[in-house]
Amino acid sequence: MISCPVCAYPNPPENKYCQQCGAELTPSEDNSGFFIADTTVSDPTIITAPQGARYRIIHLDWAAVTDVGRQRQQNEDDFYASSQTIISQTKNSIPERIDRGLFVVCDGMGGHAGGEIASAMAVGGIADHFQFFWSDSLPSGEQVVSIVRAVNQSIFYQNEQNSRQDYGRMGTTLVMLALHNTQVVLAHVGDSRIYKITADPKPQCEQMTRDHEVGNRLIDQGVPPEVAWTRYDAHQLTQALGPNDSQRVEPATISFELEQSCLFLLCSDGLCDNGFVENYWKTHLLVLLSPSYNLQESLRDLVDLCNNEVNGHDNLTAILVRCLVQPVAQEQN
């Protein structure tokens, strides 16, 4: 049997396309420069998962794009993307694989003199602080909150030092995805978003974050959505990094295990405004679950489409992370 590289469905060896999701079983060579399989291992399928794991990653790659948009003069967005695949082996063992990744998107606010600085401080701070918590596993949700609050405090301190007041205070949104093998933790502050696209058991696009905005806060207080979203300040942020001290910052976090192949999209609101992701994921994102598609080229095309046809009023930044997984039980068949 041939396991599908997208949904892991077992197919007869003569099949060219998966019976479950339609993905190509023998994809063409990918020249994107991203990791697909370790070429030093003659048969990547024999690589074991960590002890106790229910699933293993068989493919991990990513792409990132940022664009100033059609109306802004400066790009106040920033991002950080890093992944690492380690394959180890001893004389008496078969190869063992460890996958790690850290991905961050920030949308700065406060003008060129503030927003660009705040977003750069945030992505750099997350990357620096993360290394102290990340050893053989992911940080806990509480540790991630501590990291985000520490980064917030550094931006807040800059505001205080420079005596920035009211709308002159610099700040930034944040979305973060970290993974260690199939363990994932997400964190967000503000209205940048993370989506998860899956194909099995049926195609789905799930928004993993909930915007920190006045409208959602009013809904949580019992106000009907049709009333909350008609307010003039409905889309005003209720959370951001930088304007307030860390006691008033409440990052939202989610931790889970990957149990199916998926594509993560991290983006600033310049990309997801006006329902862009909800309207185009089936045609422009779902197909990218197949490793035969070049993520960098596809993401550039997606940003260009959004910039020219739908949004373009703001900076646009996006990261795509493609994670193809397989149940560990299949290794025993």
Q: Which residues, listed in sequence order, are joined to residue 102 by a DSSP beta bridge?
A: 82, 178
Give the domain extent around 241: 2-332
Number of helices and strands in the chain (H, E): 7, 13
Alpha-carbon distances of 32 from 43, 86, 298, 319, rounded to whole Å: 21, 20, 11, 15
Judged on CB neighbours under 10 Å (0-12, 13-18, 19+), 235 is: middle
Q: Residue 205: give its domain's CATH number.
A: 3.60.40.10
With CA atoms as reference, report the closest residue to 122 among 184, 171, 191, 177.
171
Distance, CA of 179 to CA of 176 (rounded, Å): 10
Task: Tell me the Ramachandran region of residue 148: left when phi exceeds 0, alpha when psi lies from -120 to 50, beta otherwise.
Answer: alpha
Q: What angle do CA 185, 186, 188 make, to 5 degrees?
A: 150
Count of domains observed in the chain: 1
What's the whole-model pTM score?
Answer: 0.82
Each residue's pLDDT, cut to its tens digit, for the chain (333 residues) gives 576 555 555 666 766 655 544 555 654 333 332 222 232 333 444 455 566 678 889 899 999 999 999 988 899 999 999 998 888 888 887 878 889 999 999 999 876 568 899 999 999 999 999 888 777 789 989 999 999 999 999 999 988 887 766 656 889 999 999 999 999 999 999 999 999 999 988 999 999 999 999 999 999 999 999 999 999 888 899 999 998 898 899 999 999 999 999 999 999 999 999 999 999 999 999 999 999 999 999 999 999 999 988 888 899 999 999 999 988 864 444
